[in-house]
Chain A
Amino acid sequence: MKTLKKYFRIWWKLAGNNFGTLVATRLSFFSYLSGKIIRFVFFWIFLIALVEKSEVLAGYSPREVLLFYLVFNVIDIFTQTLLRGTYAIGHQLVKEGKFDFILAQPVNPLFRSVSNIIDLIDFATLLPLFPLLGLVTLKLPITPNFSQFVIFLLLTISGLTIAFAFHFLAAGIAVLTFESHHVMFLYRNLLNMVRFPIDIYPQALQFVMTVFVPVGVMVAFPAKALLGLLSWQWVVYSFAVAAVFLFGSLKFWNFSLRHYQSASS
C-alpha cells in the first residue's frame, strides 16, 4: 500500500509538471485538442452515415459498429494518456543521457520512463467517451446482461494489459537501440485496423490480428463479449495472451536494462 501511494504521488507530480507545460503552450494545447476532437467526430459522423445507409456491417448493426469504435478509442486513448513517454525514451532519455539519471532514482525505471510524459490532452478526450459508451450500450439491439458487462470489463482490462505490454516492449527496444517510435508507429497503425469490427477482414488477417499481433484481442474481444458473441474459450485465450505478453515484455525490459550501455550523462 505504501509503495502504491509512493508511485501515485510520483505520477501525480509528473502529471502536474506536464500540465504546467501544457498551460505554458496554450496554442499547442488547443491545436492538439481540437485536432483530436475533430478526428474523432469526423470518423464518428462517417461511421454513422455509413452504417445507417448500409444497415449492417459484417453482420453488426449500426450501434454495434459504434460500440467497436468506442472500445477502440477507450483502449487507445487510455494507453496514450498514461504511456506517451514511451515514444520519447529513445531520442530524449537514452540519446541525451538522461536515462542514467532515471536509473539513479529510487523508483522503478520502467514506470519513470514511460510516465515521463503524461498526455493530458488525450485525457480530456477520454472522459466524454465513457458516457458515450454507456449511451451506445443502452441503445444496443439487445441490452447486455450483468455477466456480459463484467466479462466486458475484465476483457477491457486484459486489452489494456496487452497495450501496456506493447509499450513496455517498445521501451526495452528503445533502451537497446535508441529508437522506440518505429515500434510504436507499427503498433499504432495495426491498432487502427480494429477501429472497425475485425470481421470485415478475411480469416487469414483476422488470425494474424488475434494470434501474432493481438490487436484484435485488445479491442474486438471486449466488444464481442459485451454483445454476448464471445465463447468462454476465447475469453480464457484473451487472459492468457495478456499474461504472456505482459510477462514477456517485462522480461525483455529487464534484459534490455542488463545490456544497457550508457554513452554519457
Chain B
Amino acid sequence: MRKYITIFKANWQATFEYRLNFFLGRLENIILLVTLYFLWNSIFAQQETIFDYNKAQILTYVIGGHFLRALILETRTKFVGEEIYSGFISSVLLKPVSYFWQWFAEDFARKALTILTSIFEAAIFIVLVKPSLFIQKDINLILLTIVAIVLAAFLNFVITFTTALFGFWSDETYGPSFLMDVIINFASGAFFPLDVLPQFLALSLKVLPFSYLLFFPLKIYLGQLSFGAVFTGLGLQVLWLFILSNIYRFVWSRGLRRYSTYGG
C-alpha cells in the first residue's frame, strides 16, 4: 500500500509542473458549466418543470455533474496504450507493483487536485450566479450517493483502462479511447440527464454501465429514486464492476502473452 501512496504523492507534485495544461483543462469544464447553466436557465424562464425536473433540481444536476466529471470521468488512462506499444510498460512490469493499481494511484493524484479545483469553481459560480439549488437533507440518500460515486469512480477507471489495453494489439489507441470518451460523456449523463432522451434510447442506455457513472448517483442525490431502485442500481454497479474487472483481467492476460519488447 505504501508504494502506491508514494506514487500518489509523486504524481500529485507532477500535476503542479504542468499548471497551464491543468488550468486549460479546468477551463473546458468551467465553460461547459456556464453553457449548461444558462441553457437550462433559459428553458426555465418559460416553464416551471420539464422532464419531471424543476429548476432547482436541474441546476443542481448541472453543478453536481461538474463536480462528478472531475471526480469520476477525469482520467489520463488513454496514455496507457501509448506506454504499452512504446515499450515503456516493460520497466513497470519488472517492478513489484501492479500496473493497474499504479495507474489508479497516478490517476487519483490528478483527480484529487481536480476535485479541489472543481469545488472551488462551483463555489465561485454559486456565489456569483446564486442559482436555486436542491439540498438533499436525507442523510441516508447522501450516504448512498457517496457509495454510488465511489463505485462509479472505480467503474469508469476499469472501463477506460481496459479500452487503453488495446495498445497490446495496435499502436492506434487514441482512436478507440476517443470513441469511448465520447460514448461515456453522453451515455453517463455528463451533459444532460438521460431522462431528456426519447424513452427507448434512455432505457437502452440504462442497460449499459455508463449510466451508472454520473446519472445514477445524481438521481440518488436528487431523491428521484425509491430505495428499492437505489439498491437495485447499486447492485447493478457492483455487477458491472465485477463483469468489467473480469474482462480487464482477461484482456490483460491475453495482452501480456503476446507482448514482446526488444532493445535496451
Contacts and interface: CB of A to CB of B under 8 A. Distances in A.
Nearest to A49: B196
A34 B182 CA distance: 9
Most buried by B among A28, A38, A185: A28
A25 B172 contact: yes
Given A28-B172, A38-B183, A57-B43, A46 B24 contact: no
B41 A200 contact: yes
A45 interface: yes
Given A53-B51, A189-B27, A196 B35 contact: yes
A234 interface: no
Interface string A28-71: 11111011101100110110011001111110000000000000
B24 A42 contact: no
Interface of B: 20-21, 24, 27-28, 31-32, 34-35, 38-39, 41-43, 46-47, 50-51, 170, 172, 174-176, 178-179, 181-183, 186, 191-192, 196-198, 201
Q: Which 7 A-B pairs have the closest CB atoms?
A: A31-B175, A28-B175, A200-B42, A35-B182, A35-B179, A42-B186, A28-B172
B182 A38 contact: yes
B61 to A, nearest CB: 14
Query: How many residues of A sit at the interface, in one of the four size bands?
Result: 35 or more
A35 B24 CA distance: 23
Contact of A182 (B20, B178, B183, B192): B20
Given A28-B174, A56-B46, A39 B24 contact: no
Contacts of B191: 43, 46
B38 A46 contact: no
- The main secondary structure of chain A at its interface with chain B is helix
Contacts of B41: 200
A204 to B, nearest CB: 11
A202 B46 contact: no
Given A31-B175, A35-B182, A185-B27, 13 more contacts: A25-B175, A28-B172, A35-B178, A35-B181, A38-B183, A38-B186, A39-B186, A45-B197, A46-B197, A55-B46, A186-B24, A193-B35, A199-B42
Contacts of B21: 182
A55 B42 CA distance: 12
Interface in A191-220: 192-193, 195-196, 199-202, 205
A58 B172 CA distance: 43
A190 B31 contact: yes
Nearest to A190: B31
A193 B31 contact: yes
A27 interface: yes
B214 to A, nearest CB: 14
A199 B43 CA distance: 12
Contacts of A31: 172, 175-176, 178-179
A57 B42 contact: yes
A47 B232 CA distance: 30
Nearest to A199: B42
B200 to A, nearest CB: 11
Interface in A158-196: 182, 185-186, 189-190, 192-193, 195-196
A34 B186 contact: no
11 contacts: A25-B172, A27-B176, A31-B176, A35-B179, A35-B181, A46-B192, A53-B50, A182-B24, A192-B31, A200-B39, A201-B38
A39 B182 contact: yes
Nearest to B29: A189
Nearest to B129: A202
A260 to B, nearest CB: 22
Contact of B35 (A29, A42, A192): A192
A46 B40 CA distance: 13
A88 B28 CA distance: 20
